[in-house]
Amino acid sequence: MKPIVLTTTLLVGLLLLLAGSSTGNTAVPLVIGPYTQLSQFNSIIVSWTTVTPTRQNEVHWGGNPALGNITVEKSIFPKTLHSVKIEGLTAGLMYYYTVISDEIESPQYHFWTACDQNDTIRCVVYGDTRGGWDNWQATSLVSRAIERENPPLVLSTGDLVDNGKNPDDWVDFFAASPFVHNSTFYPVLGNHENYSHLYFSFFSLPSNERWYSFDNGPVHFIGLDSNPRNAFRFLQYLWLVHDLRTQSQPFTVVFFHHPLYSSGEEHGNTTLLRKIWAPVFERSHVDIVFNGHDHDYEHCYVNGITYIVTGGGGAPIYDVGHSPWTIYSEKTFHYCLLTVNSSTLTFEAKKPDGLVFDSFILTK
């Protein structure tokens, strides 16, 4: 996570949020967060943003609501963007936490540390939440449904906001995504993030934060950058090949923004990238590849790999067709829920009202 400068635009957006943002939220003591990042077996990062620079910033945490532990942010100067790494945790456990900045205290939330390989995990994957078109109402609808699932981690296939360089968009995104308080969030870059410094300031991700991997339970997760700037770089390709060869988890899940296979009528396939990455996925027996970009749902199966387009996170939804590789497709807001143990991956595509409209099971 890199330092962020509180610009005039951001300050105006933050103050507007306190007065009642475009999402309809009432005044809140913290502008963004708190939310958790980089959940590991024995540590996690807690981040949040305050309206004005604060000097004394702490995370109070513990294995029960009484908390009992305090980790203080190491910072000499007052600032608005805060990040605290909590260490000495135990794998696969839920902890409670709250943050305090000077006299401002957040409500109490919870997080999970990463699980061991033999544990069962639950996670949500979704994408394309940019919600300026309807005042973030559809994004909030999907996000509240994800919050009800209470998953330990959530993955995004990109395009979180309309314009990654606009600070107000980020304020609105976090306000419309209440699940981030309790679910560790792992996004990848979409085209609308525009490689903004704001993205890299708000999120603490593994490796170089543009492409990365991590393990949780029996799953090896790989996030890639499919934007033209990095999609065809030999450096990312070599990293991907090496990462797949050296991982040993039972299941492998890959997620990035631009779909290799899509019947979406707005964008469709990313054909050149398919020629480069698909053979790598096939040789390494990747289980599922998640993408966004087309604002719809599509379940495809090609050469032993399941491909899911999950672009129904709140952006205006698109028409979608049907191709020879298509198992199911629909124009709908939705999210995907995975439940995985060492031998079985259960997949459910769900609408905001909880209706399961597509499902399958993969076994090892």
pLDDT, one tens digit per residue, over 39-67 is 999 999 999 999 999 999 999 999 999 99
Report residue 9's pLDDT band, with 50, 70 and 90 as the boundaries.
Answer: very low
pLDDT at 362: 98
Q: Indicate the class that CATH gives domain 121-363.
A: alpha beta
Q: How far apart are CA 282 and CA 348, in angstroms?
A: 23
The answer to whether residue 110 scores a pLDDT higher than 80 is yes
The answer to whether residue 168 scores a pLDDT higher than 90 is yes
Mean local confidence (pLDDT), 150-154 = 98
3-state secondary structure 137-185: HHHHHHHHHHHHHCCCEEEECCCCCCCCCCHHHHHHHHHCCHHHHCCEE
The answer to whether residue 21 scores a pLDDT higher than 80 is no
pLDDT at 238: 98
The answer to whether residue 6 scores a pLDDT higher than 90 is no
Q: pTM of the entire structure?
A: 0.92
Token readout for 113 is 């540390």
Q: How far apart are CA 98 and CA 174, in angstroms?
A: 17
pLDDT at 75: 85
User: What is the percent of the chain where pLDDT is above 70?
Assistant: 92
Q: Which helix (H) or strand (E) holds 230?
A: helix 228-231
pLDDT in tens, 180-210: 999 999 999 999 999 999 999 999 999 999 9
Domain boundaries, the chain: 8-112, 121-363
Token readout for 210 is 């543009």
CATH topology for 8-112 is: Immunoglobulin-like (2.60.40)
